[in-house]
Amino acid sequence: MNAPTPPPALPIRALIAPVTPLQQNCTIVWCVKTMKAAIIDPGGEVPRLMATLKEHGLTLEKIWITHGHLDHAGGTAAIKELTGCLIEGPHPDDQFWIDDIGTSGAKWGMPDAKTFVPDRWLHDGDVVTLGETQFEVIHCPGHTPGHVIFFHREARFAQVGDVLFQGSIGRTDFPRGNYKDLIDAITGKLWPLGEDVRFVPGHGPMSTFGQERRTNPFVADDVLSDE
């Protein structure tokens, strides 16, 4: 009897490092072939993140930002100063949030947080590269107007920031938040990617789009069908 064929090796790997007092999920993703990495949403604790890169033998190539809130972007300027890596994201509609990082950092006890200027603003349909892999960029406003997510189609993997959580959705009571935009982004842009997609939210445990379509009290299919 022939042994079963093992599944093909995925071209990327990822690890999650919750940072800051708000325990935001900073994610380090890397191209397995080249060992080049991106840090997604470095909210803080920069020395720890740099040590993690070294521990895994990774070369930092990019800094990717889903949105401009302090807990997701507060460490960006420091990493840029250390490495010179390109900052990609978010969408330009989040410029006002990035401009507020210094003020927010002082308020939340993170005085080292600084504003920055992305090397590349991202828009819906853009592609970002990492080593020999690429991620699709999808603009998902609602939590913030310039929020984007990063999707690796082959790996069935997404980093969704504060758009969607296991059992919840992003807040829309911040300046320029919009509940309808958020629901439209989740149902119109995330769900079509497939129920098998595993995602890292901005806070808390991973989930799949399929699980959230079945059980999420805000955006499950049966919940929205009753509205």
* Reported confidence tier of residue 8, pLDDT bands at 50, 70, 90: low
Do β-strands 127-130 and 133-139 pair in parallel, antiparallel, or remain unpaired?
Answer: antiparallel
Count the neighbouring beta carbons within 10 Å of the beta carbon of residue 60.
20
Identify the residue whose tokens are 């949105």: 67
Q: Could you tell me the domains of the chain?
A: 12-225 (3.60.15.10)
pLDDT, tens digit, for every residue of 170-207? 999 999 999 999 999 999 999 999 999 999 999 999 99
Sign of the C-alpha dihedral computed for residues 202, 208, 214 and 220 taken in this order: positive
Give dist(CA 183, CA 136) in Å, integer. 20
pLDDT number for residue 1? 42
pLDDT in tens, 12-59: 999 999 998 888 999 999 999 999 999 999 999 999 999 999 999 999
4, pLDDT greater than 80: no
42: preceding bond cis by omega (within 30 degrees):
no
pLDDT of residue 46: 95
As a whole number of angstroms, the distance between CA 204 and CA 164 comes to 10
Q: What token pair was written down for 224?
A: 């929205």
Rg (CA), the chain: 17
What CA–CA distance (Å, rounded) separates 110 from 78? 12
